[in-house]
Amino acid sequence: MNPIIIEDHLFVLHTQDTTYAFRVIETGHLEHLYYGQRLHATEGLVAALGLKSSYVPGNTIAYHASAPSLSLEALPQEVSTTGKGDCREAFVITQDALGRRTSDFVFKTYTRHQGLGPNPVLGDNEALPLPHDGARAPFDEGVETLCIFLEDRVQGTTLCLTYTVFYRANVIGKRATLINTSDKSIRVERLMSNQLDLSHHAYELIHFGGAWAREMDQHRTPLSRYEQLGSQTGTSSNRCNPFFMLKAPRANEDFGDCYGFNLIYSGNWISTLEVDAFGSTRVLQGVRPDTLSKALKPEAVIETPMAIMTYSATGLTNLSHQMHRFVQHHIVRGQWQYRVRPVLINSWEAFYFNVQDKKLLRLARRAKALGVELFVLDDGWFGDRDSDTRGLGDWQENLKKLPRGLEGLAKDIHALGMDFGLWLEPEMVNEDSKLYRQHPDWVLRIPNVDHSLGRNQLLLNLGLKEVTDYLYEVLADILEKAPINYIKWDMNRIVSDVYSPALEPSIEGQQALMHRYVLGLYHLLDRLTRRFPQVLFEGCASGGNRFDLGMLCYMPQIWASDNTDAHARVAIQKHYSYGYPLSTLGAHVSDVPNHQTLREAPLALRQTVASFGLLGYEMNLLTLDGTALKAIGDHIDFYKTYRQVLQFGDFYRLNPEENPELEGSQAFMVVDSEKKRGVLGLMQGLTTANRPQLRLKLKGISETTTYRLYNRHQQYSLRVFGDLVNAVSPIPLPKGSLRFKVAEQLYPIAGETFDLVAQGSILMGGGVRLPQAFIGMGYKDSVRLYQDFASRLYCVEARQIDEGL
């Protein structure tokens, strides 16, 4: 394994299955040569892939008299600027004391390092608290870093491009550091993290937009001229997630070229995809320029967060697996890396603000009896918090609601044999709170201007050291005093009126406020997670408004969406799965009618969907009947039995492209790394009459192993059939009558049993035909009841490994 090869002026970065290459050309510029499938030699690489240029066409700019055939507009580059002929979007723009905005970066030197290496400029100790600083490998093997230093011939600054090769994950990380080596202050207008100049534009862009409770809406669009993705919410945003993909038009889950991109950052970001005059594509990723922009004094340094890229020659499933492995190996911290996550009960949709210790304990007792391991006390436990209009900032327990305090409740929960978790929203404050009254200048707001509120609250300025120091003390105190195993860290508004009354009222005093906020947040999280490494943090920002790799460096899991409707969740969780592993996705079973959509999805669907994520229950278990409670207990047992594979297995999307008979259904599958166990989930949307046949091709198991495939039994109530029951019943059973109710209790309907043994090659190559679905022609127990929002869970277990095939 030799991840970085340097020959003469050629730099080649290898991951296990991919190669990235660039070189220094005669003028000192960096020419991007290649990013794609693994190459096995360097001989001829430049001759084959280097730009061949004999003239500069028409009104294009020639770089210099000594290089008359070089146009920076036509050169695929590693770093681009303005002013020397490249009229595409630039990677870096600075303005010097003379007002010049032209830059011309040329190669100076390089260094290489094991692992992430030192921060190229500042040295480890002074490194800015960006989350990639913690993105260490559990085994550093195969992680190497290359720093390329360039100098600006015009303005005299120095730029360091840092490339980190995550060999096994097939990921390359890129970031930039700019040092003002000139003798006057400059203004940094933009500094991106990654530039990738691709030689053509025959790609489809897949990105994920959305809104609150509608995270990860998938959009697919062919590249034509210019696409801009990004966020201005102050967070990475549910309006557009920073993860996106490019794929060859015909590529699908199992076939074809595709690239995945993400950014290890939680604030405003931008990605642009520009098709240039010659049909090439420039991808840029980084912090939104107006968020990062600042003045830089001589010798001062500015560093960007790390962007990451992956390439797959074999379709989107492999791309996702590479992203998943990267998150699990290099993003998730310490002891949580491969630790199975507890099944939890959350009090929010059960009681909202109306929490009270006796009621909470009753819920906890019931949950414990069903196998739940972690009790999470959500909003409402502190200050005067009876609604969302007040209390945020006052993190002292409300003794009317919790007379024995947090400590007392936490101890009672522990005495039941459960872990205790707590909701907090540390970055926020209500105007109606003691904290705001004490420190009105700690918030982001413009003095003497009406402030626009979100959920009645204001942001504390985490860019101020006194604020993060204060929060550190308050939170550390809470975690010290009560036995708390888990924190749900919420953040429920986006930004507006960004200004700090505590900072100097000047352009420089207020610059880069939101970036400083994000750095302050990271610093706080870094301190807390170092001091309390054993506490499981779950990120949340009104659901998935900050679902990103930056937060995942500190919080091993994130609440994926406030939308707990199972049907909506199928798409939400499926789309997260393109870039994030199931071990990061909070997924809860909630009550019906659903609190966001009023849909009545059957319990089985709610359970199936939540199984493909980190299972929790978020409903009032005290009001359920015995049948529902039994179904919940059984489901939790099932989940625990398969938890390792459900949380950490290889995840497959079974799409209608390969399974045309799926029609309105979606199917997911997870398989363990040894291909011995798997779980297949089938989730129906709306049913179509008389489409009773369904054949599914399994994925991810071994061709040569024989497997048993069987379903989890389901039990139905007579109610499923309504008045149809009277077509077969010897006695009339009017709907809603007492007689009907008695019959319902006496005659539960057993769903179909499905159990077969077959070799993996058959189950994957040919597929498996499921029992005929109900089509109104009578019912027997071999029929698959497959009404709207039906679902199935199937287990896959290796029986024997066939030899000699």
Binding site for ligand GLA (CB under 6 A): 348, 378-379, 423, 490, 492, 540, 542-543, 559, 562
Answer for the pair 291, 512: CB distance below 8 angstroms, yes or no. yes
In angstroms, give the least distance from the CB of 489 to ligand GLA: 10
- Cα distances from 613 to residues 465, 643, 649, in angstroms, run 36, 10, 11
Q: Residue 756 phi/psi, 5° resolution? A: -145, 165
DSSP 726: G
In angstroms, give the least distance from the CB of 262 to ligand GLA: 22
In angstroms, give the least distance from the CB of 200 to ligand GLA: 42
The Cβ-side half-sphere exposure at 311, using a 13 Å CA radius, reads 22
In angstroms, give the least distance from the CB of 19 to ligand GLA: 42
Active-site residue, from 562, 565, 650, 672: 562
Q: Given the complex with ligand GLA, which of 342 and 544 has the nearer CB atom?
A: 544
The rounded distance, in Å, linking the Cα atoms of 464 and 119 is 24
Answer for the pair 87, 72: CB distance below 8 angstroms, yes or no. no
Q: Is 562 a catalytic residue?
A: yes
The rounded distance, in Å, linking the Cα atoms of 629 and 116 is 50
Nearest-5° angle of CA 383, CA 386, CA 388?
95
Active-site residue, from 490, 526, 591, 650: 490
In angstroms, give the least distance from the CB of 389 to ligand GLA: 12
Beta bridge partners of 144: 114, 165
**3-state DSSP assignment of residue 186:** strand
Answer for the pair 769, 743: CB distance below 8 angstroms, yes or no. no
Residue 301 burial (CB count, 10 A): 18
Beta bridge partners of 263: 307
Structure-token match 């550190």, residue found = 472
CA 723 centroid distance within chain: 46
Nearest-5° angle of CA 708, CA 713, CA 715?
165
Answer for the pair 300, 276: CB distance below 8 angstroms, yes or no. no
Q: Residue number with the shortest CB distance to ligand GLA?
A: 379
- Cα distances from 557 to residues 505, 530, 656, 792, in angstroms, run 38, 17, 29, 26
Answer for the pair 17, 38: CB distance below 8 angstroms, yes or no. yes
The rounded distance, in Å, linking the Cα atoms of 71 and 63 is 5
Q: Given the complex with ligand GLA, which of 285 and 492 has the nearer CB atom?
A: 492
Q: Given the complex with ligand GLA, which of 73 and 490 has the nearer CB atom?
A: 490
Q: Is the previous residue joined to 593 through a cis bond, with omega within 30 degrees of 0?
A: yes
Answer for the pair 687, 785: CB distance below 8 angstroms, yes or no. no
Q: Given the complex with ligand GLA, which of 559 and 740 has the nearer CB atom?
A: 559
Answer for the pair 22, 2: CB distance below 8 angstroms, yes or no. no
Q: Given the complex with ligand GLA, which of 492 and 666 has the nearer CB atom?
A: 492
**3-state DSSP assignment of residue 681:** strand
Residue 201 burial (CB count, 10 A): 19
Structure-token match 């101890």, residue found = 411
In angstroms, give the least distance from the CB of 562 to ligand GLA: 5
- Cα distances from 106 to residues 30, 81, 148, in angstroms, run 7, 11, 10
In angstroms, give the least distance from the CB of 543 to ligand GLA: 5
Q: Given the complex with ligand GLA, which of 144 and 562 has the nearer CB atom?
A: 562
Q: Given the complex with ligand GLA, which of 134 and 586 has the nearer CB atom?
A: 586
In angstroms, give the least distance from the CB of 214 to ligand GLA: 14
Residue type, 478: I
In angstroms, give the least distance from the CB of 724 to ligand GLA: 40
Q: Given the complex with ligand GLA, which of 305 and 342 has the nearer CB atom?
A: 342
Q: Given the complex with ligand GLA, which of 519 and 558 has the nearer CB atom?
A: 558
In angstroms, give the least distance from the CB of 545 to ligand GLA: 9
The rounded distance, in Å, linking the Cα atoms of 678 and 691 is 27
Q: Given the complex with ligand GLA, which of 540 and 568 has the nearer CB atom?
A: 540
Q: Is 388 a catalytic residue?
A: no
Q: What is the DSSP string of 744-785?
A: HHH-PEE----EEEEEHHIIIII-EEPPPBP-SS---TTSB-
Residue type, 360: L
Q: Give the catalytic positions in this structure.
A: 490, 562
